[in-house]
Structure 1
Amino acid sequence: MRIHQMNCGTFAGLAPTRVLLLEAPGGLVLVDSGIGLADIADPAGRLGAARHVLRPALRERETAVRRIEALGLDPRDVRHIVLTHLDLDHIGGLADFPDAQVHVSAQALTWAVRTPRFLERRRYRRRQWAHGPRFTEYSFGADRWEGFRVRPLGHVAEGMLLVDLPGHTVGHAGVFVPGRGGVPAAGGDGDDDKDVLHAGDAFYHRGQLGSTGRVPAWVPAMERVMALEPAAVAVTHARLAELAARRGDSLDVVCAHDPSGPGGL
């Protein structure tokens, strides 16, 4: 199974939106979908006032559908999209793949779509799922991986796991993908053989996990503003840092908006 790490939306000239594309035996699989073509065509209606803060570049070539075409692949072969959460910069591309099955945690779907509270009603953009995506939801049970609660998604891609990573939003999750000869994005510096844990917005910069490199000042400030379960953020950081240190030779822990690494700026 080949793994591509792609930048599918740049914000304020500082941060990418990292999306994984998997070439699985049964077709293509996306982890998150980034900014989509409809967002670029109607930023006011689709992204709302948040666009003035996030300042997305709105470049068509950065959408997942165009990235897939640039790799010589057919976007119509995208069979599944697994979401870390439903923020606007992670689900805007759903409409570009209307036939794909969309996989998400039950908590995330409940609080964003079914019964949003005051904050969620102003945060999530209903127009981004107005086309009626085929959602499949999952709750976490007794299954564990590296100490984290998980839900196996082997029916989507062999060895894939939905990983409970609370803090950023209610129901926020990461996605684990086994390596087996994955390939980084063009110009990237990733290890082709490593497993990948896409941690969504569970952290914003790898320096937060204890790696070398200074964490930009905007990172913790933005993280505090955006967290819907702030008490869980530090705990999730600590657990991911321990995992990254222990499995560093075999596992690449990435997040959506870290500008370093494959698929970055």
Structure 2
Amino acid sequence: MPVHATCKRLWALDSPSFTLDASTLMYGLSGELTVPLPAYLIEHPKGLVLFDTGLVPEAHDDPEAVYGELATMTKLAVKPEQRLDRQLAALGYKTSDVTHVIASHSHLDHTGGLSLFPQAKFYAGEGELPFAFWPTSVGAGFFRTADIEATRHFDWNYIPGVDVDLFGDGSLTVLFTPGHTPGELSLLVRLPSRTFILTGDTAHLRAAFEQEVHFPIDSDTEDAVRSLRRLKLLRDAADATVWITHDPDDWAAFGHAPHCYE
């Protein structure tokens, strides 16, 4: 068996939420469902890594000023202390301490804080950023190109359709899991105590993951189902815990900052 190095710690940063018609998340559901919008912070001996960046910082103080009608339509629930920079400060870090930022994909609930980290190396799946600027009409309202435009001159690196061992030691592997968007990414995080797979939006709900049901407005439904099946195989091979970013039951079951996994 190969011996892998490990990351030091993982935090799930406290999360705003959307309340949505459940049928928009998975076929066959009814009523409303409140879903979390987290970002994850990973400490590695070679750097401090963010997986997704949540909402625009200013939206935590005035969501309507940033998102307009969308804030009302999604029943956005957000607190000032949930701002990404404020949460980092509460954990003893500055935004300038972050060395790597991985965008699972370019929907607005994942890209809002990108501009906070001009010093970092950035990662997106191949084809993702062009799609954000010129999406198909289905789901186009989920993009906020201003978040990405603000990072145009940042150090972007593209995951070229394959998995990438970020530090070359097996501790943090960026998984190419397209379907939701062309460049959707997941992340395998090895810690001393356990291994997590953070799904980004490869899966939105636990039931959809287990039943291999694609999201209703995925950009490529065949790729989306293929990526779900792939994550299951990787879960079993790595004896990993899958954490589905937007699943409210997963959010309730796992610990959040200041709690960390080590």
TM-score bin, normalised by smaller chain: 0.7 to 0.9
**Alignment pair present for 1:262 and 2:254:** yes
Cα separation, 1, equivalents of 2:242 and 2:196: 6
* 1:90 to partner: Cα distance: 0.5
Counterpart selection for 1:36 from 56, 67, 78: 56
1:153 maps to 166
* Letter aligned with residue 202 of structure 2: A
What is the Cα deviation at residue 206 of structure 1?
2.5
Structure 1 residues 102, 47: CA separation in 2 closer, same or farther (over 3 Å shift)? farther
Q: Deviations over 1:13-55 (max 9, x none)?
A: 7211232211222432101011231233553464354333322
Alpha-carbon separation, structure 2, partners of 1:83 and 1:232:
19
Equivalence for 1:170: 182
1:76 counterpart residue number: 96
Is this contact kept in 2: 1:65–1:75, CA < 8 A?
Answer: yes
Map 1:1-265 to 2 at 5 A. 1-12=8-19, 14-41=34-61, 43-44=63-64, 46-113=66-133, 115-119=134-138, 122-132=141-151, 134-140=154-160, 149-154=162-167, 159-180=171-192, 193-210=193-210, 223-224=215-216, 226-248=217-239, 251-259=240-248, 260=250, 261-263=253-255
**SS of 1:67 mapped into structure 2:** helix
Where structure 1 has 5 or more consecutive residues not aligned to the other structure, the ranges are: 142-148, 181-192
TM-score after normalising by structure 1: 0.74
What SS class does the counterpart of residue 202 from structure 1 fall into?
coil
Query: Any idea what SS the aligned residue of 2:163 has?
Result: strand
Provide closer, same or farther for how the CA distance between residues 103 and 243 of structure 1 changes in structure 2, counting only shifts above 3 A: closer
User: Percent of counterpart pairs with the same letter?
Assistant: 25
Retained in 2: the 8 A contact 1:16–1:264? no
Q: Distance in 1 between matches of 2:107 and 2:255?
A: 19
Is the alpha carbon distance of 1:35 and 1:67 closer, same or farther for their aligned partners in structure 2, counting shifts above 3 Å?
A: same
Q: Which amino acid aligns with 1:172?
A: E
Letter in structure 1 aligned against 2:146: R
CA distance in 2 between partners of 1:154 and 1:111 (Å) = 27
With 163-172 and 228-237 compared, the bigger mean Cα shift is at 228-237
Superposed CA offset, 1:199-252 (max 9, x none): 101112233343xxxx9xxxx79x31x32222333332233234334544xx12
The 3-state SS of whatever aligns with 1:110 is: helix
Equivalent pairs counted in the alignment come to 232
Question: Which secondary structure does the structure 1 equivalent of 2:77 belong to?
Answer: coil
Corresponding residue SS for 2:241: strand
Is the contact made by 1:167 and 1:229 (CA closer than 8 Å) also made in structure 2? Answer: yes
- TM-score normalised by the chain length of structure 2: 0.75
CA shift, 1:6, in A, is: 2.2
Q: Unpaired runs of 5+ in structure 2? A: 1-7, 20-32, 258-262
Residues 38/153 of structure 1: CA separation in 2 closer, same or farther (3 Å cut): same
